[in-house]
Structure 1
């Protein structure tokens, strides 16, 4: 929440600041995003989740939402004062809370509700968006994001597992924000929000082994969505 409050202060301050200066068509820079998200299409998966019993149950993989961080470089090309294109190259880490009925099972079949299981996923993504600047201080954007999932891990109360991520995917992207320009040091920065909705699953199809030879489940078809608070600097 502290990061969200900082972004909100930047947004308010930008209303009273200068926007994008005229006369420059190309910018490069960097950005950082704080991520709050969850999953959609998180359908229950069948599996044998207990070492001591062989019954088949069905549970959704995700228990709660996800938090994350994204860092990257960007370039922005302005066709004119109204329309431009922005491309980015980002590295992202997402930490999601998993259903403890699946991964926090003990040997006697009980599950540990006090210790959450978590999923960490690393990815490299390339958003390509069309950016509209109806005023020098305000922008809207939409486009697509191409994802390369580098892998992940699941951590339970007493063990860790590799997460077999779908290697390639893509997302829809929608966003907006404000610019602020400081003519004294020639610094342009923006604060904004972005919604990225995955169109492809995050976990590769197949059977996932939880405990070798005795506990397993179907792969989940869930897809992530991320709400990002972004701070960018342009040069």
Structure 2
């Protein structure tokens, strides 16, 4: 399994996994480029149709390849999705780690918003459809715990005196709230929430405030 590519910056353009896969594979041998082409096509199908639209035939069609060619690289859809989602989970982790350190909660929240916006189909799979892909689920749970421990560590450095386990419980609860907000905004496209969230800087302010108030109250 190939390692996940890393973003060159935290710019939103560098947080679209499909674009980063394309850039990383451009100078590689033909077989690796074709493999990446199939993964990129899966991202396209996920964005357009969601998990219910995924099939090897649909992915091969989106990649402009014969269905038989896809089977050379992946024995079945489960193998393709496991590689895609596990790689994406590592990519999300890398993006979060590279977020600025001046204000870890705000900077990582900014990165997470951009990841949600630029990878809607993949985020839908990570947040809502992981039961059939234990490797990807484990990778996402690891990155989620890493992020929450970063938040808790930043809170503890300010000596608020709240027990560690209590801070972890708060962090898990707040993380779930943020996932729900971004899912409603970018995945289900709740009209009322979309109307309230046109100013992304204001959304970042709101979510950062929720994290900070929830962790330090």
TM-score when scaled to structure 1? 0.25
Larger Rg: 1
What is the TM-score with the length of structure 2 in the denominator?
A: 0.27
Higher helix share: 2
Instruction: Tell me: higher relative CO, structure 1 or 2? Use CA pairs within 8 A at least 6 residues apart.
Output: 1
